[in-house]
Amino acid sequence: MDVHIEESWKSILQSEFDKPYFEQITEFVKSEIRAGKTVYPQGKLIFNAFEKTPFDKLKVVILGQDPYHGVGQAHGLCFSVQHGVKPPPSLINIYKEINADLGITPPNHGCLEKWTEQGVFMLNSILTVRANEATSHSKIGWQTFTDAVICKISENKTGVVFLLWGNFARSKKTLIDTQKHFVLESAHPSPLAGNAFAGCKHFSKTNNLLEQQGLSPINWDLKDPITN
């Protein structure tokens, strides 16, 4: 199957695109749209995480679960929303931790694209969702695909920092070779987890691990110097 995706990822993932389960995912999403359902994110943004962070540039993985299901929110990057959309509660808690950890003032938006441009791969385990119905596409096969993505990263790269927030993300640790990669685990940043995410210091810890390998740290500051 010919999937429009960034070229370095295409060479890594072509074997998955050729499997029957991936064809079934594609047909399911198309059938939803034919039936008049609204699916997020829009088609050209389903693989946005892959487009923004090429495989050969990847240094850090942040793993989410399900796309946001509200109007204008999802754009293919976990925890991120498009400009002009109010940052959701989990993202606000992420910003609070960055501020506590590194002293960085939160931006006035919820778009995390600047991280992806530095090698942070923002992967949701499920890549589509029906509007206003959380986890509605959780059983159509996306996790088979994204589990394979995690395995490919683990097998083909070294020294990647994986950030696993919450029990769902932490369950993916078994897919990662911890002898050659770094895994940082914490509670989910959702307010439903109380204040358990606070104090994890994953942002400074990530940069320390990158610098130990001679790699440039991530600039977690998302503020636009002109508008903020």
What does each C-alpha distance from 13 to 41, 43, 77, 81 come to in angstroms? 21, 19, 18, 26
Please, are residues 186 and 63 in contact by the beta-carbon 8 Å criterion?
A: no
Distance, in Å, from the CA atom of 222 to the CA atom of 112, rounded to the nearest integer, reads 7
Residue of 56, 66, 101, 221 with catalytic role: 66
Please, are residues 57 and 16 in contact by the beta-carbon 8 Å criterion?
A: no
Judge whether 66 counts as a catalytic residue.
yes
Structure tokens at 165: 């927030």
Please, are residues 115 and 91 in contact by the beta-carbon 8 Å criterion?
A: no
The residues annotated as belonging to the active site are 66
